[in-house]
Structure 1
Amino acid sequence: MQPARAAAPDDRDIVLATEGLTMEFKGFRAVNGVALRVERGTIHALIGPNGAGKTTCFNLLTKFLTPTAGAIRYNGRDITRMKPADVARLGLVRSFQISAVFPHLTVKENVRIALQRRQRGDSFDFWRSERVLRALNDEALSLIEAVGLADFAEVPAVELSYGRKRALEIATTLALNPAMLLLDEPMAGMGHEDVDRTAALIRRVSANRTILMVEHNLSVVASLSDRITVLARGQVLAEGDYATVSKDPRVVEAYIGAGHG
Structure 2
Amino acid sequence: MQVALEARGLTKEFRGFVAVNDVSLKVTEGSIHALIGPNGAGKTTFFNLLTKFLQPTSGTITYFGRDITRMSPAGIARLGMVRSFQISAVFADLSVLENVRIALQRARGESYDFWRSEKVLARYDGEARGHVDDVGLSDFVHHRAGELSYGRKRALEIATTLALDPRMLLLDEPMAGMAQEDVTRISALIRRIARNRTILMVEHNLSVVADLSDRITVLARGEILAEGDYATVSKAPAVIDAYIGAGHD
TM > 0.5: yes
- Partners in 1 of 2:31 and 2:94 — Cα distance? 34
**Preserved contact between residue 96 and residue 170 of structure 1 (Cα < 8 Å):** no
Superposition deviation, residue 126 in structure 1: 1.7
Matched residue SS, 1:187:
coil
Gaps of 5+ in 1: 1-8
Aligned to 2:162: 174
Aligned to 1:140: 128
Does 2:221 correspond to 1:233?
Answer: yes
**Preserved contact between residue 18 and residue 70 of structure 1 (Cα < 8 Å):** yes
What CA deviation, in whole Å up to 9, does each residue of 1:215-249 have, x standing for no partner? 00000000000000001111111000001100111
Aligned to 1:104: 93
Aligned to 1:66: 55
Aligned to 2:26: 37
Amino acid corresponding to residue 138 of structure 2 in structure 1:
A
Matched residue SS, 1:52:
coil
**Preserved contact between residue 240 and residue 246 of structure 2 (Cα < 8 Å):** no
Matched residue SS, 1:81:
coil
Superposition deviation, residue 130 in structure 1: 2.0
Normalising to structure 2: TM-score of the pair?
Answer: 0.96
**Preserved contact between residue 82 and residue 166 of structure 2 (Cα < 8 Å):** yes
Paired residues in the alignment total 249
Amino acid corresponding to residue 78 of structure 2 in structure 1:
R
Amino acid corresponding to residue 187 of structure 1 in structure 2:
M
Superposition deviation, residue 129 in structure 1: 2.6
What CA deviation, in whole Å up to 9, does each residue of 1:112-145 have, x standing for no partner? 011002x034411122232221110110000000
Return 120-129 or 175-184, whichever deviates more: 120-129
Amino acid corresponding to residue 41 of structure 1 in structure 2:
G
- Superposition map of 1:16-165 within 5 A: 16-96=5-85, 100-117=89-106, 119-165=107-153
Does 2:192 correspond to 1:204?
Answer: yes
- Partners in 2 of 1:259 and 1:51 — Cα distance? 18
Amino acid corresponding to residue 223 of structure 1 in structure 2:
D
Gaps of 5+ in 2: none
Superposition deviation, residue 258 in structure 1: 5.8
- Partners in 2 of 1:137 and 1:126 — Cα distance? 15
What CA deviation, in whole Å up to 9, does each residue of 1:152-200 have, x standing for no partner? 1011101100000000000001110000000000000101111111111
**Preserved contact between residue 85 and residue 173 of structure 2 (Cα < 8 Å):** no
Moved over 6 A (4+): none
Normalising to structure 1: TM-score of the pair?
Answer: 0.92
- Superposition map of 1:2-13 within 5 A: 9=1, 13=2
- Superposition map of 1:181-220 within 5 A: 181-220=169-208
Aligned to 2:237: 249
Q: Judging changes above 3 Å, is the alpha-carbon distance between structure 1 residues 50 and 66 closer, same or farther for their aligned structure 2 residues? A: same
